[in-house]
């Protein structure tokens, strides 16, 4: 039985490529990496866009910001602003994004 250990993204990619790469002989490692990571990059971009829309990834499920989490995040950034622990630009960016999301709900 194989020992379970924490692997980094590159290590996981190389292991996955060594196991599954033969099924895709026309793809080199860089192309394989692009295929594997593209859904996650898209998810990150969507979340960073500020729209906070639900995103569905086939075989992985749906990702969304829950109402209670958004409220808590807003309270946290307000608290951080009170104690000057957040940059003003970052504060207003997050505040606007969260308030916009909460108004839609």
Residue 66 backbone phi and psi in degrees, to 5? -85, 150
- Where helices occur in the chain by DSSP H, the ranges are 9-20, 29-48, 67-82, 88-104
pTM above 0.75, yes or no: no
Residue 49 has what pLDDT? 87
Residue 87 has what pLDDT? 95
Residue 3 has what pLDDT? 62
Residues of the chain below pLDDT 50: none
Residue 2 has what pLDDT? 59
């Amino acid at each position: 039985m194989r020992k379970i250990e924490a692997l980094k993204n590159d290590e996981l990619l190389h292991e996955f490529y060594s196991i599954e790469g033969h099924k895709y002989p026309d793809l080199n490692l860089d192309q394989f990496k692009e295929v594997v990571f593209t859904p996650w990059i898209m998810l990150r971009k969507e979340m960073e866009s500020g729209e906070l829309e639900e995103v569905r990834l086939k075989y992985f499920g749906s990702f969304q910001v829950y109402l209670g989490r958004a409220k808590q995040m807003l309270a946290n950034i307000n608290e951080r602003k009170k104690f000057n622990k957040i940059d003003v630009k970052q504060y207003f960016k997050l505040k606007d994004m969260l308030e916009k999301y909460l108004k839609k709900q």
